[in-house]
Every structure is written in C-alpha cells, then in structure tokens.
Amino acid sequence: MPQSPEPGSSLPAESTGPSREDSAFATAADADGPATDAGERPPTARGEEEPAEALAVDWAGLPEAVRVRLAEIAAAAVGGMARADVPASVRPVARFAPAKRARLGAGPLLNALRDSSAFRVAVVEWAREHRPEMVDTTVDDPVSAAAAGMLLGDRAVRDHVAVVARRAEDAQLRAERDAAVARADKLTAEVERLRAELAEARGAVQRVRDEGEAELERLRRRLREQGVRLRQARDEAAAARADLERAAAVAAATERALAAERDRERERAEAERARAARAEADAEVARQAAREARQADEVRLALLVDTLAGAVTGLRRELALGGSGPRPADLVRGATTPQGAVGRVEDPAALDRLLALPSVHLVVDGYNVTKTGYPELTLADQRDRLVNQLAALAARTGAEVTVVFDGAGVVAVPSASPRGVRVLFSDPGVLADDVIRALVTAEPEGRPVVVVTSDRAVADSVRRRGAHPVPSSVLLARLGRV
C-alpha cells in the first residue's frame, strides 16, 4: 500500500500526467455525452450538491490514500469554518492542533463528509475560497483529483479512484514481489549453506568410516594376539590345576594332623580352665576376707578421723584459726571466676541433711536451676536471683557453695562476688557440665559433695565420682522457704 502523507501537507503527484488508459477513458466519456444510467444524473450547477449515492462510489471502499487526502482537506477546512457549519461529531476535532486533526480525527471527519451533504458543501466552499487546488479535479495527481471529485460529486471520480486503487495494488504487488524475491534469495542462501554442511557431513562420515575400518583392523590383530595368549593361558591353567590338586592333597594331610593336635590342645585347655576355676574360687574367698578386714580397718579409721576432727575443731576454736587458704574448686581449669554475682537459696529436708555434713561442698548447675524455677526472667536477672539465694543458704548452713554458668553469650559479669558463693563461668568452648564434673573430680575422696542439676547425664557422671546429685526442683523448694 502507498504511504499516507502527513496531515496538513500537500500530496506528491504519483505521475507526471494522466496515463493512456485515463485519457482513453476520458475521451470515451466525452464522446458518449452525459450519462443516462440509473443512479447517475447530469452535473448540478455550481453551488448545488449532487448526492453521494449518485456517484456510485463506496466511501468505505475508497483507497487509503484518497481517505487520507479527504481527511486532510476536511481538517484544513474545519479550522476556518463557522461553528454552525461544523457537525457536532467534528467539533471536538476542530479543537485539535492543525497538525493533529487529520491524523487523530480522520474517522469523524470522513464520517461527516460521507453522511452530511451540508458539511461537504461547506468544505468545498472553504477550499474554493482559500485553497482552490484542493478541489481541482484536473490536477495530475490522481489521489488529489479523486478526493476533489468525491467532494464535488464529479462523475470522473470513479476513474480517479480506480487509478489510485490500481496504483496502490501495483505498489502492493511490487512490495510482495520484492518480499518474495528476498525470501527466495534467503532460501537460496540457506540451500547453499545446507549443501555445504551436507558436503562437510559426508566428508566427516567418510573420515569416520575410514577410522572405523582402521580400528576394526587393529582390533582384529589384537583378537588374533589374544587368541594366542588365551591358548597359552589355558595351558598354564591346566598346569596350575595339577599343582593345586597336589597342594590340596598336602593341605588335607596337614589339616588332619592339625585337627588331631587341636583336639589334644582342647583337652589341655579344659584342664587349665578347671584349675583356673579352682584358683578363682580360692581368690574370691581371699578377696572376701580382705574386704571384711578392710571394712573393719575403715571403721577403726573413721573413728580415728572423727576423733582427730573433733580435736582439730577444738584447737581451731581455742586458737581462733581460720581456713582462709585456697580450696580445690578454686584451682579447676576450664572456667573463669567473675568479679561478682548475686543469688538467693532454699531446699527440703533431704537436702538439709546433706548440707549438715561437715565440710560439705554444694555445686550448682546455674542455668539448669534458673530455667526450671524462673525462666521468664532475663539470663542476667536469673543469675542475680540464684546467686543471692545461694549466698543466704551459705550463710545459714556454712557450706562451701559453687555455682557454674555457661559462659557462651555472656557479655558482662558482675564486678563483685557475694560472700560465701563462688561463681564460675565456663571458658569459650567449654560446657558448664564439664566444669561441674571437673569440680567433683578435684575434690579428695571422702569429702561430701552435693551437685544440684536436673541433667540426667551430669547426675549419673557425678554419682559415679561419689557425689550426691540433687534435682533442681528440690533446691528451688528449699530456697522457697528462706
């Protein structure tokens, strides 16, 4: 299709003059005189309008170039026409900028030209007065002549429309021909490329076939060589089988000899086990006697220790001596004593009996107790509350008290320790449970150690070391009575 001109610009001529077909058509029309067909009538006088239907030209079937030219003429005219001559459907278009009227308002303008004879007459009058070339049907440009003929109702408009349509069709056919030629050229190039690829693929196939034949020949040679080796291997296997049979016979004889020797050794072992059983029974009797003797010695030693302890206590009281030296729990590695902590303590009758033992050491799994008793508090508040309660318990019972907290995630520790309570934080990478086990292990055998924790693994391990595990709930109950 031909390109539509920009709105407001004059359309370029598509030819330098009327074609021979146009001239012949015009000559024939002049010779025939005025048309008398139904649907046509003689030209009207100037100023009168011939109805659009008399032209027998379908507005909807107009070539696009003619429609664009009609829209340009109407767009130029509505800008200078009186408002009364402009149909209501075109008035919004009249407010557009002149450069936009034909492009944006082409539909309403063409509909008004088709449906309103008064609007067509007003457009023709404006064009004759301001732009007479717009309604000149004798111009060389068939598009302009066809647009003028449509406005004036000229009988030759059908010829001009036919010329425009034919030229548009020719242009479209030329474009389609050029596109087909381009596609053909592209397909030709693609065919050439495919032929080249096919030739290359054939060459590759030939190379692969040659390589395959060479490989097949090499495999055949190897197969012949392997056949020779297989025959040699079969001969060697037969010789080895004979050797194996001879070795099996020797092994069977050896096995029989070893079986006889094993039976003799079994009999000797049974005799040795019988003697060992008798020796074990004798040893058990000796151990039982030793245990009874040791128990008697321990009873006598306990009485002696109690006597010495009473004497030492009396001497200390008389001489006002105090035990201010370091304790074993102060020397345990893997934990750090903070500069301070706070706590408060309580517990039931069983714990009271344990805390009444002389030189008892109370070891507390700090977070195990606090998270059982008051988990809603922050960790710092939990530590403060427990340490304060333990300080009160230490003051009341005189027990040595050590509380161990996990050091992971502790940003700061208190700057002063409460009286009577040792507060430890495990070092990085060390668990508080391991510190508690180390504290129990560091104590000398025979010293009473009480470990407060609800962790079953910790309780079992300290029990094996001779300590007395106490659940956290028991300590909390005791602290609740303070």
**CB-CB contact of 401 with 395 (8 Å):** no
pLDDT tens-digit series, residues 338-351: 543 333 334 578 88
What is the per-residue pLDDT for 405? Answer: 94
What is the pLDDT confidence band of residue 40, given thresholds at 50, 70 and 90?
very low
Average pLDDT over residues 106-123: 86
Token pair listed for 20: 């021979």
What is the pLDDT confidence band of residue 463, given thresholds at 50, 70 and 90?
very high
**CB-CB contact of 402 with 362 (8 Å):** yes
**CB-CB contact of 426 with 335 (8 Å):** yes
**CB-CB contact of 119 with 71 (8 Å):** no
What is the pLDDT confidence band of residue 194, given thresholds at 50, 70 and 90?
very high
Does 23 score more than 80 pLDDT?
A: no
pTM of the model: 0.34
**CB-CB contact of 465 with 447 (8 Å):** no
What is the per-residue pLDDT for 318? Answer: 56
Does 36 score more than 50 pLDDT?
A: no
Percent of the chain at pLDDT > 90 equals: 23
Does 125 score more than 70 pLDDT?
A: yes
119-149 in b/e form (b: 16+ CB < 10 A) is bbbbbbebbeeeeeebbebebebbbbbbbbb
Token pair listed for 335: 């934990």
Does 322 score more than 90 pLDDT?
A: no
Of 6-10, 57-61, 180-184, minimum mean pLDDT range: 6-10
What is the pLDDT confidence band of residue 370, given thresholds at 50, 70 and 90?
very high
What is the pLDDT confidence band of residue 470, given thresholds at 50, 70 and 90?
very high
For CA atoms 299, 303, 304, 310, the dihedral sign is positive
Does 464 score more than 70 pLDDT?
A: yes
Does 232 score more than 80 pLDDT?
A: yes
- Spatial separation of the C-alpha atoms in residues 468 and 466, rounded to whole Å: 7
What is the pLDDT confidence band of residue 162, given thresholds at 50, 70 and 90?
confident
What is the per-residue pLDDT for 6? Answer: 38
Average pLDDT over residues 96-114: 83
Spatial CA neighbour of 147 closest among 216, 79, 66, 93: 66
Of 45-59, 279-293, 328-342, 406-420, minimum mean pLDDT range: 45-59
Of 85-89, 350-354, 406-410, 448-452, minimum mean pLDDT range: 406-410
Distances (CA, A) of 245 to 65, 240, 251: 110, 9, 10
Distances (CA, A) of 82 to 11, 31, 115, 122, 399: 26, 42, 19, 9, 117
Helix pair 117-130, 106-115: axis angle to 10 deg: 110
Distances (CA, A) of 381 to 74, 155, 203, 392: 91, 108, 87, 17
Question: What average pLDDT is seen over the chain?
Answer: 77
CB contact set of 381 (below 8 Å; sequence gap of 6+): none
What is the per-residue pLDDT for 312? Answer: 66
pLDDT tens-digit series, residues 390-436: 999 999 989 999 999 998 666 556 556 678 899 999 998 899 999 99
What is the per-residue pLDDT for 49? Answer: 43
